[in-house]
Structure 1
Amino acid sequence: MRRLIAAALLGLPLALAAAQAGASDFRSLAEPAILYDAPSKQGKPLFVIQRYTPVEMVVNIDRWVKVREPAGSLLWLERRQLSEKRTAIITAARADIRQKPDAGAPLAFEAVKDVVLELTDKPADGWVRVKHRDGTSGFIRINQIWGL
């Protein structure tokens, strides 16, 4: 029994490290950015992604970061183009943003697919507080956005 408890306690730090390593690291773009197929300006430029768009950081190599963009492609951009500001993008055809984190709460505003919202708090109980660029804020269900 003691060996079982000791093994469990010794494995706990490894389990915590693995859980933290699996956590997604999202950022937004500080400026419009060209996405490349390789970590170099000699790589093939594929397309431009707009300012504030959320991206998931997957690999860091010197001045370059491999990111997953909202459509799911894995591409490269220069690290200097990333911002610490957290944003999310609407994935549902239409999303209701509520005044409180409750489906029965009054509507604060509506947003459609691909609208980018600033995250103003951490998710809790399936909701997250967001702010539109016009300053209006409210709560949205986390299953209607990408970038958390």
Structure 2
Amino acid sequence: MQRAALLALLVLWTMAGPAIAATVGTETGLPIPRYVTLRAKEVNVRAGPGVRYPIEWVYQRPNLPVEVIAEFDTWRKIRDPDGTEGWVHQQMLSGRRAVLVIGAERLLRRTPEPNAPTVARLEIGVIGWLDGCRQDWCEVDVAGMDGWIPRSHIWGVRADEALNK
């Protein structure tokens, strides 16, 4: 019985080892995946991690939130809100957090409550700076207007991510 339990524990440890290692970037030691923003007005997205790989497309939306899903040397593999993936140089990314309004027109509220006064109506695709989150609500700054929006109405923050202001 002890031998079977030890074997099961060894199998679980072996399976969990790579999963645990994959949650931290090999180059930065930062969490993978993690959200960042595009730093420049034009960001080349390449097929692989290096200048020898072809440019597949160019983002022209500074501050767009993207998700870092892998690291290699000075290159980061990112995923955008549409699920498209590619490689960008780390200098084209910023650690400042932003979110993107998704789904439909959304209301920015004065406090984190469904019936709180409305600060602004936000169209799909509006970008706001992320200030922090409390449970199901996140505080954002959109064009100088501060308010709260349900976490489920934005892209750029995980459902289980704790972000205190």
TM range (shorter): 0.7 to 0.9
Amino acid at match of 2:52: Q
Q: 2:97 maps to which residue?
A: 86
Tell me how far apart the structure 1 counterparts of residues 33 and 110 of structure 2 sit (CA, whole Å): 27
Distance 1:24 1:59 in 2: 7
TM superposition score normalised by structure 1: 0.82
Residues 70-91 of structure 1 deviation map (CA, whole Å, 9 limit, x = unaligned): 1101111011111111001111
Indicate conservation of the 8 Å contact 1:91/1:145, yes or no.
Answer: yes
Runs of 4+ deviating beyond 6 Å: none
1:37 is matched with which residue?
47
Which residue, 125, 147, 151 being the options, matches 1:138? 147
**Structural RMSD (CA):** 2.2
Q: Secondary structure at the match of 1:40?
A: coil
Which whole-Å CA distance do the structure 2 matches of 1:78 and 1:144 have between them?
29
Report the count of equivalent residues. 134
Residue identity in the other structure for 1:72: G
Identity %: 24
Which ranges in structure 2 are unaligned for 5 or more consecutive residues?
24-30, 158-165
- The residue type paired with residue 28 of structure 1 is T
Listed as ranges, the gaps of 5+ residues in structure 1 are none
Aligned letter for 1:87? A
Check conservation: 2:33, 2:70, Cα contact below 8 A.
Answer: no
Aligned match of 1:128: 138
Question: How far apart are the structure 1 equivalents of 2:100 and 2:124?
Answer: 8
Aligned residues of 1:92 and 1:112 also touching (Cα < 8 A)? no
For residues 80-112 of structure 1, what are the alpha-carbon distances to aligned partners after superposition, in whole Å with 9 as ceiling and x for unaligned? 111111001111221111000001000011111
TM-score (ref. length: structure 2): 0.74
SS of residue in 2 equivalent to 1:96: strand
Q: Which has the higher contact order (CA 8 A, sep 6+)?
A: 1
CA contact (8 A) 1:28 1:51 kept: yes
